[in-house]
Amino acid sequence: MLRLLFLLLLTLPAGLRAQSLTLLLRDSTSRQPLIGASVHVPGTGVGGTTDASGRLILTPTPAIGTRLRVAALGYRPRTVLAPAAGSPALTLLLVPSAAAMEEVVVTATRTNSRIEDQPERIEVLGEEEMREEGGIKPGNIAGLLGDIAGTQIQPTSPTTGNADLRLQGLPGQYAQILRDGLPLYGGFAGSFGLLAIPPLDLRQVEIQKGSNSTLYGGGAIAGLVNLVSKTPTLGTPQYTATVNQTTLAETNLTGFAAARGRRWGYSFFGGLTRQQDVDVDGDGFADVPRVRSLTVHPRLFYYPSGHSQLAAGYTGTFENRRGGDQQVLRGNPDPATGHAYFVDNTSRRHTLDAVYTNDSLGRGRLTLKGVVANFGRDVQTNTVDFTATQTTYYTEASYLRGLGPRHTLVLGLNANGEQLTAADRPTPLLSPYRYGTLGAFAQDDWHPTPRLDVQAGLRLDHHNQYGTFPLPRLAVLYKLTDALTARLNGGLGYRVPVPYVNSLDERDYPQIQPLRGLTAETSQGLTGDLNYQRRFLDFDDEGEPLVISLNQSFFYTQLQNPLVLPDGTGGSGPYLPGSGPASWQNAAAPIVTQGLETYLRLRLDETELYLGYVFTDARRQYDAVNPHVPLAARHKFAAVAMAEITDNFGGGLEASYTGQQYLSDGSTTPGYPIFAALLRYRLGPWTLVLNAENLLDYRQTRRERVVLPPFGNPVFRELWAPVEGRVVNLSLNWRFGATGF
């Protein structure tokens, strides 16, 4: 009898048997299967997760038109309607979403901790921001950093396009630039540093404002910026290429590839930039220099075990920048009529680095890292001709271990050095030097209660010429509620004198005299903030949370023994080219910068609104006549709005206002706005971006002439606003990934 019933069931029409729905979930860009993705019917217990092939079978088939919620970690969720019973397998593509990845891990803290657990305030620009910037400005990250309210990208040269990164009102030499936790840029080698780092090569950028010398030694008085490189992922190769063209005759070609097996992996970045010189304001001098640049960055990864890794890499940057009189640049100099000025910078930067980590050594993590960099720069103008080479090295051994449930201890030793040598050229440089520093540091992260975190650190550095520097630091985090957090961070810092800084005109270099009778600059810094963050779940029909973040912070820095380069008249203005030899001096009174920073961020899925405001009061107490630090904007406002209109189409608007700045002579500049707009279209692995910067075409040269006579050896006004004007770019990006490596 049972056999008869079984045979009857087999012969029933297919429409009368229980049917199933097969779903296949894929990455919209790479078409890789999504493992562990979920599909469920909201408000019911019906659903499941995908297997290793990205497949899920729902049995029985939901009624036609039933809403199915589809979600995967790191992807934008979507809602689809169930098809009719008996339909073929349904393939669903999910779009990657940086906003869906809530956990952000920062590396510059040495503990690789979550950002919300850090007692000091850290701002992170993640991979989504790197991807956006790669479609806007593929050649460098200067514009990306300038979009943040608390930072200021200050142009320093109208002929070479050089720029400084200012934090908390201090000039660029007081901010430390790291690459994967290794100091690389500074002194003579700091020139054009930010202008040679492409965003496509980076996973994220970490910005820590305030004194951080305890972590990485001298230089991080105003803060530090850590550039974190991309790394390969096991079984998921990455291939990306971008081509970009701007209305200012700039062409960029960049490419990135990475893959990893169980034992070996690699990554490779290559980028080309070709920029033609452009005279935007028609005064006969280039406002945008001619640039020819090549950057290569190969890295090799070895994984001897599941708990250890060795990464070794090389970075080569080769660049030529040429600016000046347009007639000279076109090959028709005429000194008799004043057409003689040009400046030609040719630079070569070679960097070798290696990092070894072992997470299973005595229940702790051992990290060994080292880098050596060689930077050579040839400079020619119609009045000077010099060459110099700066060699920098940094080595470090550190050990991290948890001591019970409440303490995490980091101990470390490091040695670093810097040497500047000048070639025997017609115009010699007068200030070569050789520096060496030995340092030891310790840091304890203490968690006495679930709501209180205390981070205490101490570094002791011994410099071969400027002595010993003890650098204590203390940071405290207290969670007032689940949504409201208070932080306070204070520490000491120092910076040893170097003869050449980024803001100097190339013609000034041969006039800088040897460093004599100087002491190191030292600092005391304090920052604090209140941070409110709350998630409102199921805010919209798609079940997306609305995330609100509100932050109010303050900062205070006192810089003792600040180095100044007198203008030759006994004042404190900038050294004027051609006014004779110049010597750095320690000022008798400090520089004090203080201010407030506020930002509000709203995020709903891929829609985001950011509003930021910074007030900065930066004063030179050694100058009673002109006490304000030049070119430190007292007010800066920034706003960004980004939205994904459909799965394929999105856009954004940016606006900023830079307020009044003081010049070296005590005069003030007007405030000015900058607006930008972006449109983006994605189709599979392709992304097309149309972007417009400085829509109102605001330029300093609209208000005053920047180049002043004598034009054969001109004097340049201090730059307080853009000179390149409006620029529109169109970029095409291709991303691809596949399994099986």
- Domains of the chain by residue range: 16-94, 105-227, 228-232+255-736
Mean pLDDT, residues 571-575 taken together: 52
Closest to 618 (Cα-Cα) out of 552, 528, 558: 558
Residues above pLDDT 70, as percent of the chain: 90
**Contact partners, residue 741, CB within 8 Å, separation at least 6:** 235, 236, 237, 259, 260, 261
- Burial of 664-698, coded b for 16+ CB within 10 Å and e otherwise, reads beeeebebbebbbebebebeebebebbbbbbbeeb
Both ends of the chain: CA-CA distance in Å?
Answer: 55
CA of 439: how far to CAs of 214, 470, 497, 589, 688, in Å? Answer: 10, 10, 18, 28, 48
Q: What is the reported pLDDT for 15?
A: 42
pTM score:
0.84
CB hemisphere CA count around 667 (13 angstroms): 6
Q: What is the reported pLDDT for 48?
A: 81
Q: What is the reported pLDDT for 546?
A: 87
Mean pLDDT, residues 412-439 taken together: 92
SS3 265: strand
Tell which wins on pLDDT, 222 or 579. 222
Closest to 549 (Cα-Cα) out of 596, 600, 597: 600
pLDDT one-digit tens code per residue, 378-401: 999 999 999 999 999 999 999 999
Mean pLDDT, residues 304-333 taken together: 94
| CATH code, residues 105-227 | 2.170.130.10
Q: What is the reported pLDDT for 79?
A: 80
- Place 176 in a pLDDT band, splitting at 50, 70 and 90: confident
Q: What is the reported pLDDT for 150?
A: 73
Closest to 495 (Cα-Cα) out of 557, 440, 443, 553: 557
Tell which wins on pLDDT, 186 or 251. 251
Q: Which fold has domain 228-232+255-736?
A: Maltoporin; Chain A (2.40.170)
195 token code pair: 């202008």
Mean pLDDT, residues 658-663 taken together: 94
CA of 696: how far to CAs of 305, 613, 655, 675, 719, in Å? Answer: 56, 21, 11, 7, 18
User: Residues 240, 232: contact at Cβ < 8 Å?
Assistant: no
Residue 541, φ and ψ in degrees, nearest 5: -65, -20
Question: Does residue 669 register a pLDDT over 90?
Answer: yes
User: Residues 384, 400: contact at Cβ < 8 Å?
Assistant: no
Tell which wins on pLDDT, 16 or 363. 363
Q: What is the reported pLDDT for 1?
A: 45
Question: Does residue 568 register a pLDDT over 80?
Answer: no
C-alpha torsion angle, residues 259, 261, 265, 268 (rounded to 10): -10
User: Residues 373, 165: contact at Cβ < 8 Å?
Assistant: no
Q: What is the reported pLDDT for 415?
A: 96
> Which residues is 542 bridged to in the sheet?
none
Question: Does residue 738 register a pLDDT over 50?
Answer: no
Tell which wins on pLDDT, 179 or 726. 726
pLDDT one-digit tens code per residue, 122-157: 888 888 888 888 888 888 887 777 777 678 888 888
Residue 700, φ and ψ in degrees, nearest 5: -60, -35
> Which residues is 462 bridged to in the sheet?
438, 468
| Reported CATH class of domain 16-94 | mainly beta
Question: Does residue 539 register a pLDDT over 60?
Answer: no
Residue 189, φ and ψ in degrees, nearest 5: -80, -5
CA angle 601, 593, 225 (to 5 degrees): 55
Tell me the residue type at 144: L
